[in-house]
Amino acid sequence: METSFIKEKIRSREYDLSIHAHNERQEEQITIEEIEKVLLKGDIIEKYPNDPRGESCLVAGIVSEKPLHVVCGMRGKRLLIITVYRPKPPVWIDYKTRAKELKKRE
């Protein structure tokens, strides 16, 4: 999945939030506008091409001086926002660096 696809789907409003993403968004008080901004201006920091549910990726960015992560994938011709959260220790050293001892082993 490439940033051009993500940006195109956000700009054309061809995306959906999973129930999980919606619940996490509400719990962490993350707005739709913040999610859109990260997906338009953030960086893909992890790709998951072999996810059994379909190819997906982790996009990271800073919005309103706060870090935000958005995991998204393709579902048909639409973008699916799978989850959203604010990265925090101990899993994240900073918003773009996963703690080494917790990295997935491939």
What's the pLDDT tens digit per position in 62-89? 998 999 999 999 988 999 999 999 999 8
- For residue 101, what pLDDT band results from cuts at 50, 70 and 90? low
Per the structure block, which two tokens stand in for 94? 């900073």
Q: Which domain holds residue 34?
A: 3-102
User: What is the DSSP pairing of strand 66-75 with strand 15-17?
Assistant: unpaired
24 in helix, strand or coil? helix
Q: Are 44 and 38 in contact (CB under 8 A)?
A: no
For the domain that residue 58 is a member of, what is the CATH number? 3.30.2310.40
Q: Kindly tell me if the per-residue pLDDT of 105 is higher than 60.
A: no
**Which tens digit of pLDDT belongs to each residue from 40-69?**
999 999 999 988 878 999 999 999 899 999
**Which tens digit of pLDDT belongs to each residue from 21-38?**
999 999 999 999 999 999
How many domains is the chain built from? 1
Q: Are 64 and 92 in contact (CB under 8 A)?
A: no
User: What is the DSSP pairing of strand 78-85 with strand 92-94?
Assistant: unpaired
